[in-house]
Amino acid sequence: MFGRRKKTVAQMDKARMDAAVKFGGTVLKYGRDTYGETHTPLFTDLLDVDSMKNPGKNVY
């Protein structure tokens, strides 16, 4: 691997923390239960990465 430097542990930790914060923000923003007539304080278990919506039933 020419021209690439190894990342330090601190850099890798920061990258993981940044990803976790982004994931948490995305779930809070798009993953709330706003489906159907009754909205609850629950979160969806799955988000489509393109639409940021729950893809519905029978996805698995």
One digit per residue, pLDDT tens: the chain, 60 residues? 566 788 899 999 999 999 999 999 999 999 888 777 888 888 888 888 899 988 877 666
Calpha distance 27→29 (Å, rounded):
5
Domain count for the chain, please give it. Answer: 1
| Tokens matching residue 4 | 């690439």
pLDDT of residue 41: 84
- Count H helices and E strands in the chain, helices first: 1, 2
pLDDT of residue 1: 54
On whether the CB atoms of residues 41 and 47 are closer than 8 A, the answer is no
> The pTM is what?
0.66
Which has the closest alpha carbon to 31: 18, 20, 46?
46
Q: Where in the sequence is the domain holding 10, given as residue range(s)? A: 1-60
pLDDT of residue 42: 87
